[in-house]
Structure 1
Amino acid sequence: MKRQAFSIKALLCAMTMAITATTTYAGNTTLEKELETYVRKCNARIGIAVIMENSDTVCINNDYPYPMNSVMKLYQAMAVTDALQKNGTPIDTVIVINRKELHQKTYSPMRDTHTEKKLKLAVSELLRYSLQNSDNNACDILFDRITGIKETESHIRNIGIKNFAIKANEREMFARHGACNENWNHPLSAAILINKLFTENIYQKPYQDFLIHTLNTCRTGQNRLPKPLMHSNAVIGHKTGTGFDSPEGYPQGINDVGFISLPDGSHYAIAVFIESSQYSMEETEQIIADISEITYLYLNKHAE
């Protein structure tokens, strides 16, 4: 039975959460306090990290590992890009995929669109399916053909990211739902990662520009971080993650990690991870949208 919709902002707290937050951002009412106040009202375990243009950082409940789910595909895409670049492999290199390699029950728009016995897809197409549509088969083909899980972990650590682990592919997580907990990060790790991708020269320009454009045209999670930005001139590149429901039917591992570019040229990175929720999926996604709106309005108000 669908639970009755209600205003998330009007919720009274039904659970006690340990809040850990740090910020150096100036203001009478700090972003930290606004986010902390909001999170305390929610019957959900929520972690948040925001990195502002001047490198000031706000973290709420960051000292805790959150299952990545498909946010892992952002980490993978960056490792795939590194492998292509090192090998001198063009991003439009075609891979032949036998249909029997594809998992038939997992989420896969790629499999449903391409019905031929042998699929001929460019690496760029696989990355688009994985990042824009969160396609599980595309993700596993990239692990199998381009760069493995260990190599993915190694590359991400080499560019300075800590407090994360990637141990399972999509096939393993489908077969054993507990494996989702083996791919984890702290919210700040994810925020630092996407911030690096959008602000530092990590890869050669054609590769890096492709990743940024692909994330900027993400098709999943429109009711999460992008929702309050839809009628603004802000541009958001983001990657979502969605876990399996709990035995009681509640959403778990509902995440979104994004980089927002504002019309005045300023920008910020934001990561929101909801490990567990006592609400419907619609209401849980609204929590992420509310956090996105609080952050966007605050930073607009205090823009210099």
Structure 2
Amino acid sequence: MYRIRVIFLFALFVFITNQSLSQNSSLRKELRPKLMKIVNSYKATVGIGLIHIETGDSLDVNNHIRFPMLSVYKFPLALAVLDLVDKGDLKLDQIYHVKKSDLIDDTWSPLKKEFPEGEVDLTIAQLLDYSVSQSDNIACDILFSLAKGTQSVNEYIHGIGIQGMDIQATEHEMQADWKILYTNWSKPMQMSHLLEGLYRQKYLSDSSNAFLMKLMIESSNDPARIKALLPEGTIVAHKTGTSDRRGNIYDACNDVGIIFLPDGTHLALSVFVSKSEEDYDTTRKLIAEISKAVYDFYSAN
């Protein structure tokens, strides 16, 4: 009986392995050429990190490049803050008094638009909502201060096993000098591994994990990127990041997220676009086309 069980398990292992190898072969032969055709059609440097979470199939493009994250880094920041909540160092209902001096000028901030004079009490949960769901730069920097700075957040991310990523500067510091935005970088596959870890609930308590997923699913982050060409109603938990245009260049136009597929499986997809000579809408369209190609491939296989 023991021998039969061993033979059965070995046969099952071979079957699963062969299925995975077959799928990875399909990725190389079918999906990669489609993605490269899209990438090569645009005047931009493009990085892609793709993981099919349930099977572990993966594909990357330009994973050796350090892409500037811009506001995508509000996702790893949120992980670090929620880790402090899980440890009891912070509380979601903890109040932070937003002072007028917190409201820096010339930056994206729905918070400042809503409370132009500041002097308002907000919970950490509300600050996370502003930062992750609305990409608010002022809320982001307040959260960095509550998390004891960018270095502490960076150490947290490296401590959970994500090495191909670095967080060095606040939004205010990036605003002061455009070159500083390149100090907040990620390789595409490392960001997708972080997304995979979020989905698998590797980092946070169940309640904190569910809260962050909700913020990313229900966010007002730009729908004209990963979500744009997917079937209506497709669930995507995502975070965008965008630089200003510098001359005829966008240093960054990004979107990273978890795509829910019709068969109940999930994709972690990170698309980083740097040094784009295309206009804003065309650059976003590039991300949408990559997402659609990936979605269509997995929906048909």
Task: Show the counterpart of 1:95.
Answer: 96
Task: Show the counterpart of 2:11.
Answer: none
Task: Show the counterpart of 2:174.
Answer: 173
Q: In structure 1, what is the Cα distance between the partners aligned to 2:89 and 2:182?
A: 34
Q: After superposition, give the CA deviation of every residue in 1:145-200 in whole Å (9 maximum; x if it has no partner).
A: 23321111111111111111111000000011110011111011111111110123
Q: Name the SS for the 2:46 alignment partner.
A: strand
Q: Name the SS for the 1:180 alignment partner.
A: helix
Q: After superposition, give the CA deviation of every residue in 1:240-270 in whole Å (9 maximum; x if it has no partner).
A: 010121223x322000001011232111100
| Displacement of 1:102 | 1.4
Q: In structure 2, what is the Cα distance between the partners aligned to 1:40 and 1:24?
A: 24
Task: Show the counterpart of 1:300.
Answer: 299
Higher mean C-alpha displacement, 143-152 vs 208-217: 143-152
Task: Show the counterpart of 2:4.
Answer: none
| Displacement of 1:105 | 1.6
Task: Show the counterpart of 2:123.
Answer: 122
Task: Show the counterpart of 1:33.
Answer: 33
RMSD: 1.7
Q: In structure 2, what is the Cα distance between the partners aligned to 1:278 and 1:293?
A: 22
| Displacement of 1:31 | 1.5
Q: Name the SS for the 1:272 alignment partner.
A: strand
Q: In structure 2, what is the Cα distance between the partners aligned to 1:181 and 1:268?
A: 27
Matches within 5 A, 1:96-115: 96-115=97-116
Q: After superposition, give the CA deviation of every residue in 1:85-142 in whole Å (9 maximum; x if it has no partner).
A: 1125331222111112211221101011023441100101111111111110000001
Matches within 5 A, 1:41-120: 41-52=41-52, 53-87=54-88, 89-120=90-121
Q: Name the SS for the 2:252 alignment partner.
A: strand
Gaps of 5+ in 2: 1-21
Higher mean C-alpha displacement, 181-190 vs 195-204: 195-204
Task: Show the counterpart of 2:136.
Answer: 135
Letter of the structure 2 residue corresponding to residue 30 of structure 1? E
Task: Show the counterpart of 1:3.
Answer: none
Q: Name the SS for the 2:244 alignment partner.
A: coil
Answer yes or no: is 1:287 the counterpart of 2:300.
Answer: no
Q: In structure 1, what is the Cα distance between the partners aligned to 2:89 and 2:106?
A: 35
Question: Is the Cα–Cα contact under 8 Å of residues 271 and 287 in structure 2 kept in the other structure?
Answer: yes
Task: Show the counterpart of 2:8.
Answer: none
Q: Name the SS for the 1:256 alignment partner.
A: strand
Q: Name the SS for the 2:271 alignment partner.
A: strand
Task: Pick the structure with greater CA Rg.
Answer: 2
Q: In structure 2, what is the Cα distance between the partners aligned to 1:162 and 1:24?
A: 27
Letter of the structure 1 residue corresponding to residue 155 of structure 2? S
Number of aligned pairs? 279
Q: Name the SS for the 2:90 alignment partner.
A: coil
| Displacement of 1:24 | 5.7
Higher mean C-alpha displacement, 280-289 vs 250-259: 250-259
TM-score by length of structure 1 reads: 0.87
Q: In structure 2, what is the Cα distance between the partners aligned to 1:147 and 1:257?
A: 25
Q: In structure 2, what is the Cα distance between the partners aligned to 1:48 and 1:88?
A: 35
| Displacement of 1:271 | 0.4
Bigger helix fraction: 2
Q: Name the SS for the 2:161 alignment partner.
A: coil
Question: Is the Cα–Cα contact under 8 Å of residues 225 and 285 in structure 2 kept in the other structure?
Answer: yes
Q: In structure 2, what is the Cα distance between the partners aligned to 1:301 and 1:79?
A: 37
Letter of the structure 2 residue corresponding to residue 289 of structure 1? A
Query: What percentage of residue pairs aligned between the two structures are identical?
Result: 31
Letter of the structure 2 residue corresponding to residue 72 of structure 1? Y
